[in-house]
Every structure is written in structure tokens, then in C-alpha cells.
Amino acid sequence: MRKWFARLAALGVALLVAGQGTTTALAQEPTAGKKIVRVGATQSMDSMNPFLAVRLVSTSIHRWMYGFLTVPDSKTLQPSPDLAESWSASEDGRTWTFTIREAKWSDGQPITAEDAAFTFNKIMTDEAAKTANGPAVENFESVTANGQELTIKLKSPQASMLENPVPIVPKHVWESVTDMANHDAETYPTVSSGPYFAVEHKKDQYVKLQANPNYWRGKAKVDELQVIFYDNPQAAIAALQKGEIDLIGRLDPPEFKAIQNDPNIEAWNTDGRRASYLQINHGATTTDDKPLGDGHPALKDVKVRQALHYAIDKQKLVDEVWDGLAKPAHGSIVPPMYQDFFWEATGDTKVTYDPAKANQILDDAGYEKGPDGVRTMPDGDRKLEFRFSIHTDTPLEDKLAEYLTGFFKEIGITLTTKKLESSKFTEETGYTGLFDIAISGWSVNPDPEEVLATHLCSRRPTKDGEGGGTESFYCDETFEKLYKDQLKELDRPKRAEIIKQMQERLYTDAPVIAIYYTNDLEGYRKDRITSITPIPENKGLLYGGSGYWPFYTVDVKAAGASGTSGDGGGSNTGLIAGIVGAVVVIGLGGFLLSRRRKSVADERE
């Protein structure tokens, strides 16, 4: 997580692809009786190399291809065996021993602890290999292998060890790679240990995966997965409605509403894993505590931040910005689907919509209203006029800005919308501090350590502009101590209580203000897909879930003799490429890249 962050931001602009034009068929008719699932994505792969891939679609596909030490349990989301069938930790929590299961790679070679040791050591020693998951091994002191036994020694205890997001690669394939930064991993078929292996990739068009017959759980129910890239959600929705794809995820309310009444489509609406919040520039600084950026000085005052919080009608935002497809956030930056770690404010701690109280807080703090109704600093030097940074081409954020402008006007604060393309947005809100308030958020994994880590002192940028991915420029002694305490606590319930204290600290100090938890909105062809198991299994997520479970369990009607997809489905002429153009990179795709690249895990926005 160093200067390559800036390079990756630039990549979001540089990857504007030339494949614009009409939709075209790109593969042969499927063999009769073959089971194929076609997944639509409004983002294309940035790399088939799991050491380099940072986009959400890329890390999702790699989760279907590669094994990890552990995976989220399909029912509880707690760590469960994957390539590691068992493990133990030393009493001091600094030495972890994993037993790697007796299994085979897709090419028939045995999987050993040497493969895992090679993978981790490669990331620890090769700067380019750190691109995707470098922070995941920052606390590793050494990694060694002995047969099927893997030993990881840590610099300090780390309670989240069983949530390690690094995909394990085969040593016998990857040890010959000498230039990781330029290795595209485009040799097919790939050698994988997960449910699928890749057999074809057309840049910015599609990826084709086949079921791995050597997968340790047993071969998947379908023969092939095709991930097809579209330039925008509307194009993907049209393809779903025409039967050109079978499933699409990560929808906003307008796209979801468009499929709700289609008799052939199952509109999937469940609790999501994303918390959305406002990022407040409360006085951005570098890691050596030097002031950074041009944030409004009034936002350094916690009373001003608290007044902003009381001025926000979160229920109205849910009802009118998200069409009721979200839940108001009254505390946690961890969404309620993760019950163990979710925290909600109660009693006097809870901030409710109360403009009168917000006005009183500002009055008492000396921020008087002028003749125009706009408040000024106590010294009268500057009006409370804040910028609100959002992304370009994001109608929901435009709508959110309209409502917030009205809410803040009621308490004598002017809000002006500032639209930025994705890489510029990330630069200003994560590195240069050139903002006042910004839209932000995180798609949280079952273990919330990484989203909490984005609020650590060490995640601020250095004086040279390097950075570890801050979400708030926060640096607080109390929060830092709690973070260290939860890292050392291996008792899950006790650790959860510490994590809740961390969230309460963020809530009361308000470097960020959680506003809502958006639902997981997806859709699939119920005339094509005969069964699919979400994660968690009790009304969980499909494409948007943590792990491969839905795509390992999915089953579909087999292709007919003429290449059609069984009864009632749309045409299945193989892979149908989306119209891949600038929108996928600068629009939704660029936005997802900007959030994913800050993390060590797979599902970030």
C-alpha cells in the first residue's frame, strides 16, 4: 500500500478500452446438455494475476478459482476449513500452525504447505506481489512449511488470522515468474484449487471458467461459468431481461425496480454488507502530524460534527434516496448482518433527527447566524460553508446531496456539491485532504478488522503522499488502544465487545457519520437457474457475498440440442459481450476500484 496506490488510480483512467460498439457473440454454441451460468458484471477484470488484481470483479472471480487457508462458513460466516483443514495458535497468539489438507491442484499435482508458504513469502519479499494483498502479511515475521504443516510466526498477536484474504497459488506454476509486475497470468487453462479454473479471458469482454474436477469438496453442479462485462447497469439489466445473462448483482434501486415485476426474474433483496457514511475532514494530517489539505476549520470542532449528525433525517434518506431499500444507521460502521460485531447506540448516546437540538448545539458553541441565515465561526472570520464531494455520474449521490443541502440549511450551514471523477475523488479524500465532507462507505467482510484499520493513525498518508488507505484521516489515542486490544483478544465474544467500543468511539467523535446500510439488490433468471444457495444460507447474498458458496452450489437447466437454454429461457449463443467503454472504468468500475484498492480483502467499494 504505497506509491502504487497512485499508479492504480491513474490506471482507472488509462484503462479506457476501445471495444465500443454493438453487442456481439464471442463464442461457439454450447454443447447440448452442457450447464452454463452467465453472470453479468458492470466492471471488467484488471488482471488475471491474483497478486495484482484489485477490482471487485477480479477478486470475486479469483475466489471462485483459488483456495484460501479458511473461508466463511456458509451458515455462520465464521472461519471454516478450506485448504487448511485444521489449525492451532500458541498461547501468546504469535505462532499459528495450519495443517493443509491432502488435495490436488486442477492439473493433478498435490497441494502442500509449500504452496502456501511460497505464496505468503512472495508477497512479503516482492514489492509488486504486494499490490493486491500486501497489508495481509505486514504482521508476518516468517512463514515456513514442512510437508502438510504450515507455520506462520507473527510480529504481534492478530485475532483476525483466520480471515486472511490471500489466495494460495501453486508453487510449481508461479516460482518461475521473475517479473511479477508485468506478469499477466494469461496462460490457459489456469492451475487452480478452487471450484473453477479459467480457460479463456477476452480483455474487457468476458472470462470463461470451467468446473474443477479435482476440487476437494467435489465437482460443481455446472460445467461452466461465464462472467460477461457490460458498460453500465442498464445494459446488464437489459441483457438479463432478454435472457442473455442469468444473474446480475450490485444493483441500485432504479435498476432493481426495473426487474421487480418481471415474471422470469427473481428480484433478490436482502440485508447487505455495506455501510454508507459521510467522511468529515476534521483536520487532516500526515503520519508525522503535519496539517494537510484545505478542510474547513469549523469541522475540527466535535460540536459542529455532532450538530451535523443531529441535522440528518436518516429515515428520509432511506425512504426517498434509496426507495426504502436500505436501513438507517444508528451507530455501527459494521452492517447488522454481522450480528456478532454490530453495535447500535442507545439511550443518551443515540443521535436522532433533531434540528432544534443541532441549532442549540451550534448556538451554545458560538456559531452565530448572520443576516443571510448562514452561521459564522465564533471569531466571525469565516462562514460555515462546506463542500460535499461526490462522484460524477452517480444519480443517487446527486440526490443525497440535495437532501443534505436542505437538512444543513435548516441549521444555518451551506452545502455546495463538488463532483469528481473516481481517481480524483480518491486522491482528494484519501491523500491530499482537499475536501470538507465526502460520501464514503465500505462493503464489510465477516471480520471487520480491515474497515476498522482504515481509521488508524498509520493509515494516513506520509508527507510524501504515500499512504495506507485512510477512510477518515482519523488519529485517536483511545481508538488506537482499543484496536491493539482487539488484535490480542482471541476470545471471540470478548473481542467483539472491544470492537463495539471502537465503533462507539467513532460514533461520538464523528470523524465519519454512518447514514444507512444499503440492501443487497440482485436478480437472476428463475427460468434458467434451478437452485442457488446464498451466503449466509438464511437469505444471504449471491454475487455480492463473501466467498464462492453461491457459485459452487448453483445449478441451471442444461443447454438444448440447438444451443438454447432449456424451457422458457433466452438465447444462449455462448458468451455475449457487453458494450465495453469508458463508463465501465470511469463510472461504476472506477469507483469500485477506488474503494477496493485500499483493502486487504475482497469486497470493498
Give the tens place of pLDDT for each residue, 187-242. Answer: 999 999 999 999 999 999 999 999 999 999 999 999 999 999 998 888 999 999 99
**32 CB neighbour count, 10 Å cutoff:** 12
Neighbouring-strand partners of residue 274? 443, 518
- Residue 288 — left, alpha, or beta (φ > 0 → left; ψ -120 to 50 → alpha)? alpha
Rounded CA separation 461/453 (Å): 14
pLDDT of residue 231: 84
Question: CB of 359 within 8 A of CB of 390?
Answer: no
Write the Ramachandran bin of 112: left for phi over 0, alpha for psi from -120 to 50, otherwise beta. Answer: beta
The confidence score (pLDDT) of residue 28 equals: 44
Per-residue CA distances from 1 to 57, 117, 434, 598 (Å): 20, 21, 21, 7
**What is the residue type of 363?**
D
The answer for residues whose C-beta is within 8 angstroms of residue 491's C-beta and 6 or more apart is none
CA distances for 379 relative to 50, 280, 299, 334, 376, angstroms: 54, 22, 15, 38, 8
Written as nine digits, the cell of 359 is: 441549532
Q: Can you tell me the distance from the alpha carbon of 133 to that of 164, in angstroms, rounded to the nearest whole number?
A: 9
Residue intervals in the chain for CATH 3.10.105.10 = 273-520
Give, rounded to a whole angstrom, the gap between the first and last alpha carbons of the chain. Answer: 17
State how far the Cα of 79 lies from the Cα of 490, in Å rounded to an integer.
13
- Residue 193: alpha-carbon gap to chain centroid: 23
The residue written with cell numbers 444507512 in the block is 516
Q: CA-to-CA distance for 347 and 334, rounded, in angstroms?
A: 20
Other Cβ atoms closer than 10 A to 530: 13
Q: Tell me if residue 64 falls in helix, strand or coil.
A: helix
Neighbour count for residue 162 (Cβ, 10 Å): 18
Burial class (CB within 10 angstroms; exposed 0-12, middle 13-18, buried 19+) of 567? exposed
Report which residue type is found at 7. R
The beta-strand segments (E) located in 376-507 are: 385-391, 414-420, 437-443
Cα distances from 101 to residues 41, 73, 107, 191, in angstroms, run 33, 17, 17, 17
Cα separation, 84 vs 66, whole angstroms: 13
Residue ranges of the chain that CATH labels 3.40.190.10: 36-246+528-558+570-582
8 Å CB contact between 10 and 423: yes
pTM of the model: 0.84
pLDDT score of 584: 34
Superfamily holding 273-520 = Dipeptide-binding Protein; Domain 3 (3.10.105.10)
* H helical segments located in 292-349: 302-310, 314-316
The number of beta carbons lying within 10 Å of the beta carbon of residue 248 is 30
Q: Which residues contact residue 515 at a Cβ distance below 8 angstroms, ignoring those fewer than 6 apart? A: 276, 277, 278, 312, 314, 317, 328, 329
C-alpha 366/C-alpha 355 separation (Å) is: 17
CA dihedral (589, 590, 594, 599) positive or negative: positive
Flag residues of the chain having pLDDT under 50: 1-28, 561-605
Looking only at the bridges linking them, the beta strands covering 512-525 and 247-248 are: antiparallel
Strands (E), 222-290: 224-229, 247-248, 265-280
Nearest to 323 by CA among 392, 263, 396, 389: 396
Strand partners, 154: 140
Please give the full DSSP string across 70-112, using - where no structure is assigned.
EEE-TTT-SEEESSEEEEEE-TTS-EEEEEE-SEE-TTSPEE-
Residue labelled with grid coordinates 461504476:
588
Q: 529 phi and psi, to 5 degrees?
A: -85, 120
3-class DSSP state of 544: coil
Q: Is 403 strand, coil or helix?
A: helix
Q: From 3.40.50.920, 3.40.190.10, 3.10.520.10, 1.10.10.10, which CATH number describes the 36-246+528-558+570-582 domain?
A: 3.40.190.10
**Bridge partners, 375 (sequence order):** 369
